[in-house]
Structure 1
Amino acid sequence: MLTTSTIGLLIVDIQGKLARLVEGSEALIANTARLVQGAQALGLPVIWLEQNPDKLGATLSELQPLQASSPVLAKFSFGALGEPQVAAVLAQSGVKHWLVCGIEAHICVYQSVLGLLDSGASVSLVTDAVSSRDPANRTLAIGQLAARGAALTSVEMCLYELMGDCRHPAFRQILSLVR
């Protein structure tokens, strides 16, 4: 069961031209925005990653306003934990369970999730907020990550699980996000 006291959100590399080329780009962007806003309403730590931003570009402009109160960390290794600064920030966060979304599912998301699992963290892959250019690679990555111990969830599923009750103070705000 997901609980707000031990969970955080990691957004992997939704940046530059590539974010517009992945399958279902518009849905990915919209679902990521809903997920981030829901995480913020629930008071979860949110960390943004950018792969080689000088070459690939920054996080998409429509998502940048959601970064205001969160760390945005550059990385050059495909897996988040391969970057010492990122690994240190994630370790210092106190988060034991990460919701993970981003692109590309079969490269940076895949290697980041495997690294988190290897480090002893739990991971829930938010499947409606991950994508790849080739849908077959997305499907393969999700299947492999599930087989290796990542839980699978969706934006709406994880936000409702985190609230647990319609009397939660963030219920109305989250309800407006998912409608």
Structure 2
Amino acid sequence: MKTLHIVGYKNSGKTTLLERWIGYVKAKGLTVAVLKHHGHGGQIELPSASTDTSRFFDKGADVTLVAGGGSAQLLLNNEPSFEALKALVTYDSPDVLLIEGYKEERGEKVVLIRKDEDWGPLQELEGIQLIIGEVDSSDYPVIRERSDAVQLDSWFADWLNREGHYETI
């Protein structure tokens, strides 16, 4: 399984890039899982309070899973470790795991820079494969325009085809 973290600060374009590359992976006939860190503080948005799932959750169920109509939704009343979350999201052995955030965890990373001061702390991260944004770096490949679809997809295609960077869960 190929695994890549997309990291950067709020509003740097992480979700937009993930959407693009999810579509790219699917167009190649591969399977993809996504793990996202909710870094905005507070709880994540839950389903409507009137659903059975929310009612079970509100009463204290530790785990609630609802399935039907070709999809399933899992709610946990705690936050598992990063490794446990990866195991959950990759239960079906996808070809590619894309991770939004979790910048301090081990793994290959694409770093999105929205303004100069972002680069200072982010350049200390391990596993940087690509920088997207206005940064002068001779240590890593840089794509200056986050809207340059040709360059973004070309780099991602090369990364997908690169040998020796697979992870097992």
TM-score using structure 2 length: 0.43
By relative contact order (CA 8 Å, sep 6+), the higher-ranking structure is: 2
More helix by share: 1
TM-score using structure 1 length: 0.41
In our comparison, the structure showing a higher alpha carbon Rg is 2
